[in-house]
Structure 1
Amino acid sequence: MNQDYIKPNNWSILEEGFDAERVESSESLFSIGNGAMGQRANFEEYYSGSTFQGSYIAGVYYPDKTKVGWWKNGYPEYFAKVLNAPNWIGINVFINGEALDLATCKEVKNFRRELNMKEGWYERSFTAVMLNELEVSVKVIRFLSLKRNELGVINYEVEVINSDATIVFEPYLDSGITNEDANWEEKFWKTLEVKTNEDKGFITAKTLKTEFHATAFMQSGLYRNGSKQNVEASEVSFDEKVIFRYTTEAKKGEKIALHKFAGYVTDMNHKRDQLVQAATSVLDAAVDAGFENLLNEQKEAWASIWETADIAIQGDVKAQQGIRFNIFQLNQTYLGEDARLNIGPKGFTGEKYGGSTYWDTEAYCIPFYMATKNQSVARNLLTYRYNHLNKAIENAEKLGFSNGAALYPMVTMNGEESHNEWEITFEEIHRNGAMVVAIKRYVDYTGDFSYIPEKGLEVMIAIARFWQQRANYSTKRDKYVILGVTGPNEYENNVNNNWYTNYLAKWCIDYCMESLEKVKSDYASDYERLMAKTALSAEELAEWKEVSEKMYFPYSEEYKLFLQQDNFLDKEIIPVSELPKSQRPINQKWSWDRILRSCYIKQADVLQGFYFFEDQFSKEELEKHFDFYEPLTIHESSLSPCVHSIQAAALGRMEQAYEFYLRTSRLDLDDYNNEVKEGCHITSMAGTWMSIVEGFGGMRVLNGTLSFNPQIPEGWESFSFKLNFRNQILKINVAPGKTSFSLEGDKPLEILVKGKPVKVEPSVPVTV
């Protein structure tokens, strides 16, 4: 653990005391979003210290030219990245002519931040002694409206404590922004129009290359001790900036506040020639509602989300704060209402990973959204990949595959591969299998098989074709092998026969063939349509079957376990426990060459397979593999601790399961990997939810029936969560020695608890 300044609290993220060294980390941790846009917790007023400005619009991206030393055939032309969008939060503040700047003040006292997760708002307050000896108290509340997702709201309140003073507020819009992660230091936006209309300001800009058009807008009003003031603003406009200047005299102790309404409208949702008109409508409605009403709307919207999504833990504040932070950030990032959007690994909290879509969505996020919202949200996420199938086929064609074989991208915005590290882009092909795993999980959980004949089977056929072509026959082994890959463990590159990849390939082929049979018998017209569309023949199916039946899996007779890949035991096997703390994280302390030669595992690899395909292995096999691989796993991927937590719980090792849970839930809050200033790990946060629901709750779906094997960490008084299972809400409350179930629905639900059937009637709690 590298930091511990976040104060434990059940419902809020709290920071007390100003420390310039923490500013960028806190900008990540206190980020806000509403699914359509989001922003880091930058200060509204000017700050001359070190800061990482970030304000982002969902779905708006730029194809930054790939930066490599030399080019190889098949290399992606560009690296897609989410763009730092025109800044609308800015409010310069001058008191008696001096700019308020926390980096240059004589003293900053009572500094406090709060991210209120229950109600969805961010507040910052402080008292500053300025160079001109004025002492000012400042309180700022900011939120991005869930109900009006193009709107953000700021209430910026200043009180001069020791004197009368002249206060100047300068709310502004600025499109002259750059990305922190620009490869070539260029700008990504072209400003098209800077416009004002009375007290409204607009900047319309377009992204270069991708030609997304967005209008940033603002309107402000001045308040004295809560009463609206009629203060005329003077106006300053530049090529890329529009500023309104509000000047007022303030008596000592008077509270002067600026209410700023602002945000973005884009051509994803409006016609280009009507963006300013759309922005005007948003502003008129916001001003009409007013700050207090908008804040109340926000509280109600978040209350509705928490009604199903919350996990309540009694008796462990840090664990409670961790899970709520994870659930809150997931909902700030994606709400499931737009099938064009997806979940970036950093969400709206930073620029690393380009804000793109990874296999994290299918492997970790779908179960969370499916159970805490409804199956239509999960269907949207599956449809996102179906809509990209033709691009996935093109991606495979670029690498020499044929006959409609598809390789889904490692990183994408529009279905096209846009990741620019060779060993990940072209070797980490296991992501293809996650697409099929997600389809099966959806069908198992919802009981909605109809997705497979409608859309899913096309995806599965294209992926099965890829695996059949990617495997090659080894005469020496009389087996099919898969060479030159990288598994989930990225601390091994260009290996042969990664067990997880080979197992996934075989499973994908088998599941596709099984689904084909079911569609043939139950959905005849869909079957005929798909056979005609894909030109799938009996000869090709025979080739698939041969690859599946003769797939090779590296195995050690000595240890009686599957090997992560060929020759894994050639490595010097030294447990992580013997590695000095000063050497970690190894990805920041060691050369890449040294990492690749070591036995250390970045994230669950063989164990990832045991997690996905738990029903195909015995508990004894899991225990043997867990005991061999976990001591070698360094957990420097955010996706690692959650899988280990679930498996430790399955083995009844609750102390270890709890340690892994705490690590995954507080990965960013405690900055385990010393990198939170780059942004939070959004997609792994869904794994935190799984650690409790699948790990401690032992939730599985067995032949269409919800099953639980509940356990509780030592020291917890209880924990509870809800599941939306096939349009009925089941609440589970686990306490030492007993578990209670209550059902919101209209028909009874048969479940299994520790293998025994239990019937739960609507509105009649059952305790086991």
Structure 2
Amino acid sequence: MNLDYIIPNEWSIIEEGFNPDHVKSSESIFSIGNGAMGQRANFEEHYSGATFQGSYIAGVYYPDKTRVGWWKNGYPEYFAKVLNAPSWIGIHITINNEKLDLFTCKNVADFKRELNMKEGWLSRSFTATLKNDIQIQVEAKRFLSLDLDELGAIEYNITPVNADATITFQPYIDAGIRNEDTNWEDKFWDTLNVSHENHQAFIQAKTMKTHFYTCTFMESQLLIDGKSVLIEPIITADANSASFSYEYKVKKGETYTINKFGGYTVDRNHDKNQLIPAAKAVLKKATKLGFKTLLENQKAAWQNIWNLADITIKGDVKAQQGIRFNIFQLNQTYLGKDSRLNIGPKGFTGEKYGGSTYWDTEAYCIPFYMATKDQNVAKTLLEYRYNHLDKAIENAQKLGFKNGAALYPMVTMNGEECHNEWEITFEEIHRNGAIAYAIYNYHRFTGDYSYIPEKGLEVLIGIARFWHQRANFSSVKQQYVILGVTGPNEYENNVNNNWYTNYMAKWCIDYALENIQKIESEYTTDFTRIMNKTKLSKAEMQEWQAVSTNMYFPESKEHEVYLQQDGFLDKELITVKDLDKSQRPINQKWSWDRILRSPYIKQADVLQGFYFFEDHFTQEELEKHFDFYEPFTVHESSLSPCVHSIQAAKLGRMEQAYQFYLRTSRLDLDDYNHEVEEGLHITSMAGTWMSIVEGFGGMRVRDNMLTFKPQIPKQWEAFSFKINFRNQILKVNVCQNQTHFELEGDRDLQILVHDKRVTISPNNLITV
């Protein structure tokens, strides 16, 4: 059964009523982050029920030794784990010596949790009756600062309702934590030092093996009815934690408040020996500004994000809530400030999937960041891969490739492959194509070619070399084939001639050759430098060309479609609608052997190619392929509904497009895959944005021009979005019968709307 307790609201995620069965799911859904750190929505006070405690620092990981039955040459030695970091949010609370614990309270009433996406904060309120019959009212609010991204802040208020009470706040920091998922139960952290000074406490710790140095810190302020009170704490410290106890006799009806400031300083940004002074500097700013001013600054920072990133939907609150939730979580995960960071598939909401970077970044996330931020944010994501090029060449060498061939990892933290399922690690090589496609997509959208001669061409050469070596000539077919692969559909492993992979290989070679030619004629200095560095010869390029020109593509003359792979028609072709519903999801009900022999498709595969390269195919070809493959697609990947929504809209099938949109936008809010307690699907959230902008808005870039073919689901009155196109902001507002365009910029912009040219002047509303 899907979750149904999240209350529809345009700007907030709201839960009302306390249900212990929802706690772990809500800890995921209500997660907060600021690009530099994040945390699941764990309660500040102690909770003895089922919970998944999680705090995470961007870029900090541990190489957990791979666990496999037997070793294979080229196997990654470790699976990089996103690390559960020392926690700073905890506040033990006792009332007349009785610990506050919602799991053991006699009664919990008026429980409300809210994640306010407009302003960037999380709150909880409830009335609880403890086992000692004291009744209290609690209001708590917290956020992770966008302005001071090493800082988080908590305001926790308790009011005794039925009697005076002695209340103790015991804020603490704790390094005695562990990951939910470990291969060998290794210890991931080494606590170096626990110290305290005045009302401040610090834990210095480093990760085992990777040696990331961190400092977890806290400081608290106490108030009664909003007025500051000075209370000398009782201090407790051990090898892994430090806590301060602040006891106060609170009258019935009075409100006792703790403002707790905490966070992390890390050696990515500071000298590892200066982490405590850096933490003190953060705390000095925090306590000087105070909780309320920090909160106002937080609201302003989020307003700046929403000014460009927001999508409005009129007449459908669930759809509106869904898209804002997706945009909010993407911005909590990555803001483009640091080229050493990337967009993890779970962000800061859980530990599943390990590493921080998948092909999702290039295939799904870059369009969102290009259009809703300064183009340098997307360029930073491209530079991340350029910085890992040497590692990609090393990864390919481990598998027997040579001469600078580059295979980018399926999963990585630092450029090394750290995924340990053979059918993914060795075979899902189409990921290489997404890296090249992102370079093309960036240039197409921004018009900025500078990245390619400066850095991108070296990446394209390494990728082209890989495809040249990975293909082999079939004397039977008299064409080049690519054997033993897994395409985007991970429900087929070790297949031959996955159409998408072969098509991507050909395109990558052609695109590399096209750019080599352009740079040779227009950027001679860069050309000489790159040729000297890569030792690329005309003879080698001719060999590439032979592979591209003579690439084999499986097809069915009978069905008039390209085949997903050579053996697809050998399967028993029973469509999803004829599959017993009790068998779904098949990835939880069937053996892997049965899945691999079935025709069922996890996500867009051939259709992923039609999405990337739609200009290469006619509308009729798209329709034939959509009608052939979608009926076999079980959409058991979070990346699946968005591509199908965009293509259904292109085919004018708006009801189908709308249903796919709802599924992608509310994938986590409604827990379609029955796994939200493990964390959110961050990278698929960018696909939700694409479903509206590229699907319903019909936005494309062709011949250096923005083009639109707007459509609107019948369930909506109107929807609007903004695009930052080459440093001009275009607002698009689509209604049932017309579309409005408005430009914030300093020069006219020509666009195509339903293939008709329209000129938009700055600050002048145009209606089509």
TM-score interval, smaller chain: over 0.9
Shift of 1:726: 0.3
Shift of 1:106: 1.1
User: Helix, strand or coil for the counterpart of 2:629?
Assistant: helix
Q: Please tell me whether the aligned partners of residues 202 and 215 of structure 1 are also in contact (alpha carbons under 8 angstroms).
A: yes
Deviations 1:48-82 (A, max 9, x none): 11100100000111111001111010000100111
Q: Please tell me whether the aligned partners of residues 342 and 381 of structure 1 are also in contact (alpha carbons under 8 angstroms).
A: yes
Within 1, Cα distance between the matches of 2:294 and 2:182?
A: 36
User: Helix, strand or coil for the counterpart of 2:7?
Assistant: coil
Q: Please tell me whether the aligned partners of residues 177 and 187 of structure 1 are also in contact (alpha carbons under 8 angstroms).
A: no
User: Helix, strand or coil for the counterpart of 2:407?
Assistant: coil
Show the counterpart of 1:162.
162
User: Helix, strand or coil for the counterpart of 1:396?
Assistant: helix
Deviations 1:152-210 (A, max 9, x none): 00001111111111000100000010000111122200000100011100000000000
Within 1, Cα distance between the matches of 2:719 and 2:91?
A: 43
Show the counterpart of 2:401.
401
Within 2, Cα distance between the matches of 1:53 and 1:582?
A: 33
Within 2, Cα distance between the matches of 1:131 and 1:185?
A: 37
Show the counterpart of 1:98.
98
Shift of 1:305: 0.2
Q: Please tell me whether the aligned partners of residues 63 and 78 of structure 2 are also in contact (alpha carbons under 8 angstroms).
A: yes
Show the counterpart of 2:475.
475
Q: Please tell me whether the aligned partners of residues 347 and 355 of structure 1 are also in contact (alpha carbons under 8 angstroms).
A: no
Q: Larger deviation: 354-363 or 637-646?
A: 354-363
Deviations 1:706-761 (A, max 9, x none): 00000000021110000000000000000011001000000000000000100000
Alignment of 1:410-425 (within 5 A): 410-425=410-425
Q: Please tell me whether the aligned partners of residues 8 and 318 of structure 1 are also in contact (alpha carbons under 8 angstroms).
A: yes
Show the counterpart of 1:316.
316
Show the counterpart of 1:118.
118
Within 2, Cα distance between the matches of 1:481 and 1:694?
A: 33
Shift of 1:426: 0.5
Does 2:137 align with 1:137? Answer: yes
Q: Larger deviation: 21-30 or 349-358?
A: 349-358
Q: Larger deviation: 296-305 or 185-194?
A: 185-194
Does 2:466 align with 1:458? Answer: no
User: Helix, strand or coil for the counterpart of 1:353?
Assistant: coil
User: Helix, strand or coil for the counterpart of 2:85?
Assistant: coil
TM-score (norm 1): 1.00
User: Helix, strand or coil for the counterpart of 1:352?
Assistant: coil
Shift of 1:355: 4.3
Q: Please tell me whether the aligned partners of residues 179 and 187 of structure 1 are also in contact (alpha carbons under 8 angstroms).
A: no
Letter of the 2:335 counterpart: L
Alignment of 1:712-751 (within 5 A): 712-751=712-751
Aligned length, in residue pairs:
768
Within 2, Cα distance between the matches of 1:565 and 1:408?
A: 23
Does 2:343 align with 1:347? Answer: no
Within 1, Cα distance between the matches of 2:395 and 2:512?
A: 21
Alignment of 1:494-573 (within 5 A): 494-573=494-573
Shift of 1:678: 0.4
Within 2, Cα distance between the matches of 1:484 and 1:186?
A: 34
Within 2, Cα distance between the matches of 1:316 and 1:534?
A: 54
Within 2, Cα distance between the matches of 1:302 and 1:410?
A: 33
Letter of the 2:655 counterpart: E
Letter of the 2:638 counterpart: S
Letter of the 1:673 counterpart: N
Within 1, Cα distance between the matches of 2:390 and 2:481?
A: 27
Show the counterpart of 1:692.
692
Does 2:327 align with 1:293? Answer: no
Show the counterpart of 1:264.
264
Q: Please tell me whether the aligned partners of residues 355 and 418 of structure 2 are also in contact (alpha carbons under 8 angstroms).
A: no
Within 1, Cα distance between the matches of 2:577 and 2:106?
A: 46
Deviations 1:648-701 (A, max 9, x none): 000000000000000000000000000000000000000000000000000000
Shift of 1:637: 0.2
Structure 2 stretches lacking a partner, 5+ long:
none
User: Helix, strand or coil for the counterpart of 2:353?
Assistant: helix
Letter of the 2:193 counterpart: E
Within 1, Cα distance between the matches of 2:602 and 2:658?
A: 20
User: Helix, strand or coil for the counterpart of 1:701?
Assistant: strand
Show the counterpart of 1:249.
249
Alignment of 1:144-159 (within 5 A): 144-159=144-159
Within 2, Cα distance between the matches of 1:520 and 1:755?
A: 35
Show the counterpart of 1:443.
443
Shift of 1:358: 0.2
Within 1, Cα distance between the matches of 2:647 and 2:495?
A: 26
Within 2, Cα distance between the matches of 1:613 and 1:195?
A: 58
Show the counterpart of 1:677.
677
Show the counterpart of 1:29.
29
Shift of 1:132: 0.6
Deviations 1:213-255 (A, max 9, x none): 0000000011111111111111001110000000000111111
Q: Please tell me whether the aligned partners of residues 388 and 415 of structure 1 are also in contact (alpha carbons under 8 angstroms).
A: yes
User: Helix, strand or coil for the counterpart of 2:354?
Assistant: helix
Does 2:85 align with 1:74? Answer: no
Structure 1 stretches lacking a partner, 5+ long:
none
Show the counterpart of 1:228.
228
Within 1, Cα distance between the matches of 2:107 and 2:620?
A: 61
Q: Please tell me whether the aligned partners of residues 178 and 186 of structure 1 are also in contact (alpha carbons under 8 angstroms).
A: no
Within 2, Cα distance between the matches of 1:651 and 1:410?
A: 32
Does 2:644 align with 1:649? Answer: no
TM-score (norm 2): 1.00
Does 2:406 align with 1:373? Answer: no
Q: Please tell me whether the aligned partners of residues 645 and 658 of structure 2 are also in contact (alpha carbons under 8 angstroms).
A: yes
User: Helix, strand or coil for the counterpart of 1:551?
Assistant: coil
Deviations 1:336-394 (A, max 9, x none): 11100000000000001114200000000000000000110010000000000000000
